[in-house]
């Protein structure tokens, strides 16, 4: 089994073999993936980690902001290791899943302004951008 590389999301207090294996799979996938997809990747690598452990580990990594979480319209949570430690958003290809971390730019000011206009104190927001990457767009045009 490979060891955790530098730049890896923090593992938290419980740095177990299973937790390290899950983080390594997240790094290798480099796209948003479901707990089931991550579990399957572990099985393919002949790493024994139960699906319940995968779910619990992903939840605990999300709580310490060591992974990004994307909630689909179908209600599924998808996970991806963070490349950046600062607040960011994602550009996600709806065809292949390729993901780019992007700066929020104007979204940050807009969220603050809208919250204040309605008497809210902004505590957070989610904004993801979906589309087709150049490669997938090119395949559709062929």
Q: 93 a known binding residue? A: yes
CB 100 within 8 A of CB 90: yes
Rounded-to-integer distance, Cα 77 and Cα 82, Å = 15
Q: How far is CA 39 from CA 14, 32, 43, 93, in A?
A: 19, 13, 6, 22
Q: 81 a known binding residue? A: no
Q: 82 a known binding residue? A: no
Q: 136 a known binding residue? A: yes
Q: 88 a known binding residue? A: no
Binding positions are 87, 93, 96, 108, 125, 133, 136
Binding positions for Zn(2+) are 93, 96, 133, 136
Binding positions for Fe cation are 87, 108, 125
């Amino acid at each position: 089994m490979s060891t955790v590389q530098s730049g890896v999301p923090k593992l938290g207090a419980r740095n177990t073999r299973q937790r390290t294996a899950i983080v390594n799979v997240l790094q290798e996938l480099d796209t948003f993936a479901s707990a089931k997809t991550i579990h399957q990747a572990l099985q393919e690598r002949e790493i024994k980690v139960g699906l319940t452990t995968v779910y619990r580990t992903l939840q605990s990594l999300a709580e310490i902001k060591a992974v990004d979480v994307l909630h689909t319209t179908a209600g599924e949570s998808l996970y991806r290791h963070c490349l950046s430690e600062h607040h960011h958003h994602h550009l996600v290809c709806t065809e292949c899943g390729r993901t780019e971390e992007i700066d929020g730019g104007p979204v940050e000011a807009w969220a603050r302004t809208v919250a204040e206009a309605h008497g809210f104190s902004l505590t957070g927001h989610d904004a993801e951008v979906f589309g087709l990457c150049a490669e997938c767009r090119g395949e559709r045009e062929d």
